[in-house]
Amino acid sequence: MALPQKHFKKGSIKPELPEDGVLRYFSMAFCPFSHRVHLLLAAKQIPHHKIYVDLIEKPEWYKDYSPLGKVPALQLTGVQDQHTLVESLIIAEYLDQQYPQPRLFPTDPLQKALDKILIERFAPVVSAIYPVLTCNPNAAADAIERFENSLDVFEVELAKRGTPYFAGQTIGIVDYMIWPWFERFPSMKINTEQKYELDAKRFEKLLQWRDLVSQDTAVQKTALDVQLHADFQKSKTLGNPQYDIAFRGKL
């Protein structure tokens, strides 16, 4: 049974979800944290049902699946009590253990810990650029400067590792966990007055990495066009987020 491609809102009727043991993935189409989980589901070719949720006007029934009201949320319909997992990195680690092909987390415990720390170090990148990325008129004057300083960590780390991906010769968990923001960064060229782009010299290795990752099958399957990202952020500044434009041309 195909679920409708729309974001369920407050007052909406709870969708009829099949009791078939298939994972239920609750998402918002433009949420980068949800995008992380979408990438893993695609990379591992895991069957799942997608249910999209309006984050401003959450449907009342959503608390039955995610008591905290968060996305992403993944309901494990094939296990006893049908637990629901939240937080993208927690979900990612669970999926990598339950569906080990392809393995995305390092098997070495120390390297796994170091990679999880590196993923956490992306938080300052996100917090610095988020107001700019979301077209917030109150973004701090030094937001881009702080963003670039935080992103330097990843340029240096990629050079230190000396491999095309953060995971080595093949794509891995760090690559997938930071990718959603790199898909969104180009929207700043459309939405910012200065038509911002990453500096080609300062971020030479990251830009090479971006071009390489963009060719990954899972990345291509989950990608949204940069214009869609830009249009969505503009709709947010007008106070009326247009979540369903993610499905433009697909309905």
DSSP string, 128-158: HHHHHHTT-TT--TTHHHHHHHHHHHHHHHH
Q: What is the torsional sign of CA 89, 93, 99, 100?
A: positive
Write down which residue in 50, 71, 103 finishes a domain: 103
Give residue 204's pLDDT band: very low, low, confident or very high (50, 70, 90): very high
| 124 and 95 co-located in one domain | no
Does residue 150 have a pLDDT over 90?
Answer: yes
Q: Report yes or no on 244 lying in a domain.
A: no
Give the catalytic positions in this structure: 31
Nearest to 85 by CA among 176, 16, 23: 23
Q: Are residues 146 and 118 in the same domain?
A: yes
In this structure, the answer to whether residues 122 and 65 fall within a common structural domain is: no
Query: What local confidence, expressed as pLDDT, does residue 154 receive?
Result: 98
Total number of domains in the chain: 2
CATH assignment of the domain containing 160: 1.20.1050.10
Instruction: Identify whether residues 163 and 204 lie together within a single domain.
Output: yes
Mean pLDDT across the chain: 94
* pLDDT in the model for residue 251: 43
| 151 and 59, same domain (yes or no) | no
Mean pLDDT confidence for 178-201: 96
Residue 202: give the domain boundaries: 109-215
Q: Is pLDDT of 84 > 90?
A: yes
Residue 202 tokens read as 């300062």
Look at the pTM and tell me if it is higher than 0.85.
Answer: yes
**Domain assignment present for 26:** yes
